[in-house]
Homo-oligomer: A and B are copies of this chain.
Amino acid sequence: MIRLQQDDFNVTTLVEAAKSRETGAIVTFIGIVRDDGIECMELEAYHEVAERELAVIRDEAMKEFPLHSVDIIHRTGPLRVGDNIVLIVVSAGHRKEAFLGCEYIIDRLKQTVPIWKKEYLKDSSRWVGGEERHGHS
């Protein structure tokens, strides 16, 4: 499943759904709003293009590594410190490829998917720059 949504996700539910009889390893990545002195943040996306880019990244990862399934859920809208931002669930027969696939996906996601974050501080706000600048994780 590839989805942009305002609602939170349930990690357990997605992990269970990712299993097949051949699954021996599932690696998940969860990105979370970190307290960099902020009160909250607002996520904005170029929806159609972001979902399409996420599907492209999933397809790339599944071509590159022997994965069984890839799910990516990215939230949009207002989020507070501690809230989930993104969930990536990668299932595979063995752990090595599950780790490699999951890390590949979050790295690519941060480079190419049109999503932006505006951080609200006590008396000001700022747009978060891309990776290698103030990326959250």
Residues of A participating in the B interface, judged by any CB pair closer than 8 Å: 10-13, 15, 19, 21-35, 81-82, 93-95, 98-99, 102-103, 106, 136-137
Tell me the nearest residue of chain B to A106, going by C-beta. B95
Known: A12-B11, A28-B28, A30-B26. A19 touches B82 (CB 8 A): yes
Whether the Cβ atoms of A24 and B136 lie closer than 8 Å is yes
In the complex, what residues of B have CB within 8 A of residue A94's CB? 137
- Each complex incorporates copies of this chain amounting to 2
Query: Whole-angstrom distance from the CB of A32 to the nearest CB of chain B?
Result: 5
Whether the Cβ atoms of A25 and B32 lie closer than 8 Å is yes
In the complex, what residues of B have CB within 8 A of residue A93's CB? 34, 137
In the complex, what residues of B have CB within 8 A of residue A33's CB? 24
Known: A29-B95, A95-B137. A34 touches B12 (CB 8 A): no
Whether the Cβ atoms of A25 and B35 lie closer than 8 Å is no
In the complex, what residues of B have CB within 8 A of residue A26's CB? 28-30, 32
In the complex, what residues of B have CB within 8 A of residue A106's CB? 95
